[in-house]
Amino acid sequence: MNFAQALERLLPVVDTVHERWVHDRDIMLQNHSSNAEAPVITCTKGCGACCHFPIIPATAGEAFVLLARLLADGRTVEELHLQFMAYARRYLEWSVRQGSLPLTDSSQTLFLKEKLPCPLFVRTPETGALGGHCGVFQYRPQICDFYHSLDSPQLCLMKKPHGSFADISERGHGTLDELQRSEREIFGRSAIGHLPLLLAALLTDEGMKTFLTVVEPDTSVENAQDIEDFGLYVSLLGALGYAWGDGDWASLAKAQAEVL
Ligand code: SF4
Ligand code: SF4
């Protein structure tokens, strides 16, 4: 598949999922605000701690559509490549030093000390140490729309658990499932990964070629779809020069145990 064909297939998918989400989100927010006893969302404009998280989960298809929109807005491949590779280099050098990607709770907390924001984040220091706003607010991926807190932003700053509305979170995660299902129908696979790394990888020839390759999962193999999805993310990391290793397997197992 080529870039234009992929965009023609993916754009309506991303937009439709988002439009349905916005409709449902607004109803859920209305319900919560009409309940005087319900907690309130504490996220405010200028609070950018979550834009510094080491995992901003987006689908590869979302990253592709976002990239296409940045290019349509007049950004060039060269400048975006510079911007995202600078981030990826720092992120992956940190990972090599630590022995794995920041997958576990403790390594994510440690990563936050780097104060490395998403490359699409616009810093406004007057709003605090990690203050700023999203530079692509109207195009931001689903996670950046549905992630929220009902507690002090200080908890986010420390990467500690915080309250959120269960219905909004559940519906939000459902949008990622919807996107993945559609992407699998188009490409045979769909990776979820860290948004800035996905974008950096798509800005390399190898990464874009990998993303546009249509595969057919071998259904006779157990977990064939999971293997294809995961393989896509590992290949995209490979396009950035990062080799998934034993340390990453160990961290992934630990991270999975943490959420169970
Ligand atoms: S989720 Fe946390 S860090 Fe993100 S805007 Fe809300 S309070 Fe701030
Ligand atoms: S896309 Fe925007 S909202 Fe999402 S992490 Fe990046 S800067 Fe923050």
Domain ranges of the chain: 3-254
Query: Mutate which of 52, 69, 140, 199 to test ligand 2's pocket (most atoms within 8 Å of Cβ)?
Result: 140
What pLDDT is stored for residue 33 in this prediction?
Answer: 92
- Per the DSSP assignment, residues forming a β-bridge with 134 are 121
User: Separation of 247 CA from ligand 2 center, angstroms?
Assistant: 28
Query: What is the rounded CA–CA span in Å between residue 79 and residue 95?
Result: 24
Q: What is the rounded average pLDDT of the residues 179-198? A: 97
* Cα 83 to middle of ligand 2, angstroms: 14
pLDDT at 73 over 90: yes
Ligand nearest to the CA of 41: 1
Pocket flag, ligand 1, residue 200 (CB < 6 Å) = no
pLDDT of residue 219: 83
The confidence score (pLDDT) of residue 78 equals: 96
pTM, 2 dp: 0.95
Q: For every residue of 95-118, which 3-state class applies, written as one string?
A: HHHHCCCCCCHHHHHHHHCCCCCC
Side chain identity at 131, as an amino acid letter? Answer: G
Q: What share of the chain in percent tops pLDDT 70?
A: 100
The Å distance, Cα 66 to ligand 1 centre, comes to 22
Nearest CA to 190 out of 160, 224, 220, 233 is that of 233
Q: Please tell me the predicted confidence (pLDDT) of residue 95.
A: 98
3-state secondary structure of 46: strand
Residue whose CA is closest, atom 6 of ligand 1? Answer: 43
Residue 96 has pLDDT above 80, yes or no: yes
pLDDT at 129 exceeding the cut of 80: no
pLDDT score at 159: 82
pLDDT of residue 260: 76
CB 88 within 8 A of CB 197: yes
For 76-217, list the strands marked E by DSSP. Answer: 121-123, 132-134, 192-194
* Beta pairing partners, 59: 192
Task: Tell me which of 147, 155, 158, 164 to substitute to probe ligand 1's pocket, judged by most ligand atoms within 8 Å of the beta carbon.
Answer: 147
Strand 121-123 versus strand 57-59 pairing type: unpaired
Q: Could you tell me the distance, in angstroms and rounded to a whole number, from the CA of residue 120 to the centre of ligand 2? A: 6
> Nearest ligand, CA of residue 52?
2
pLDDT digits (tens, 9 = 90+) for 206-243: 999 999 999 998 888 889 999 999 999 999 999 999 99
The rounded distance, in Å, linking the Cα atoms of 165 and 241 is 39
User: What is the bridge-based pairing of β-strands 132-134 and 192-194?
Assistant: unpaired
In this prediction, residue 257 carries a pLDDT of: 92
Q: Which amino acid is at 247?
A: G
Whether 127 contacts 46, CB under 8 Å: yes
List, in order, residues 6 or more apart from 158 with CB less than 8 Å away: 109, 112
Measured in whole angstroms, how far is the alpha carbon of residue 116 from the centre of its chain?
A: 15
Contact 154, 66 (CB under 8 A): no
Confidence of residue 61 (pLDDT cuts 50, 70, 90): very high
Cα of first residue to Cα of last residue in the chain, in angstroms, is: 38
Percent of the chain with pLDDT strictly greater than 90: 85
87 lines ligand 2 (CB under 6 A): no
Per-residue pLDDT at 107:
94
CB 210 within 8 A of CB 252: no
* Structure tokens that stand for 215 in this block: 């595969």
For ligand 2, say whether the CB of 134 is within 6 Å of any of its atoms: yes
Q: Which two tokens stand for residue 235?
A: 């290949």
Q: How confident is the model at residue 244 (pLDDT cuts 50, 70, 90)?
A: very high
Q: Residue 21 — pLDDT band, cuts 50, 70, 90?
A: very high
- Mean pLDDT over all residues of the chain? 94
Nearest-atom index, ligand 1, CA of 130: 3
Q: What is the per-residue pLDDT for 130?
A: 79
Q: What is the b/e burial string over 149-176, where b = at least 16 CB atoms within 10 angstroms of the residue's CB?
A: beeebeebbebeebebbeebeebbebbb
At 54 the pLDDT is 95
Give the ligand at the shortest distance from the Cα of 134.
Answer: 2
* For the CA of 49, the nearest ligand: 1
**Which pLDDT belongs to residue 98?**
96
Judging by beta carbons within 10 Å of its beta carbon (0-12, 13-18, 19+), is residue 239 exposed, middle or buried? Answer: buried
Q: Residue written as tokens 């299902």?
A: 181
Q: Is 43 in the pocket of ligand 2 (CB under 6 A)?
A: no
